[in-house]
Each structure stands twice: as C-alpha cells, then as structure tokens.
Amino acid sequence: MTLSYAIRQGHRWLSIAFTVTVIANFILMALGQPPAWIVYAPLPPLFLLLITGLYMFVLPYTARRRGEGGR
C-alpha cells in the first residue's frame, strides 16, 4: 500500500466520521443544549480532512513537476 493510497482511504473514512459527527450534532441540538464536546466533535475530523484534501490537491502538480504523469 502506497502513501498516496493510504491518504485517499483515510480521507474517505474521515469524511464518513465527519458526516456522522455533524449529524449527531444536529440531532442533539434539536433535543436541547448539547455539551461542548459534542459541539466541537466535528472539528478534529474537519482539520484532518483539510490536511489530506490539500495533499491530494497538490499531488498532481508535484507529480507533473517530477515528470511522472499528466500532460
């Protein structure tokens, strides 16, 4: 398994974790004022999604510069 593949898989699983935490957040907010840790629970997956997403965004440009693919 290459690093790129692992980051893509991690990004997919992080997106699922982020979606679940946001849905749980909305459900618990509808029931009343949730604790602070519920409100801030989506932030760690969101931060990791930002990092992995930026990595995947930059990857084609760096590969093209190294001469590995692209146009």
Helix (H, G, I), strand (E, B) or coil at 70: coil
34: left (phi over 0), alpha (psi -120 to 50) or beta: beta
Instruction: Determine the Cα–Cα distance for residues 6 and 19; give it in Å rounded to an integer.
Output: 20
- pLDDT (tens digit, 9 = 90+) per residue, 11-40? 999 999 999 999 999 999 999 999 999 999
pTM: 0.81
The pLDDT, as a whole number, for residue 68 is 63
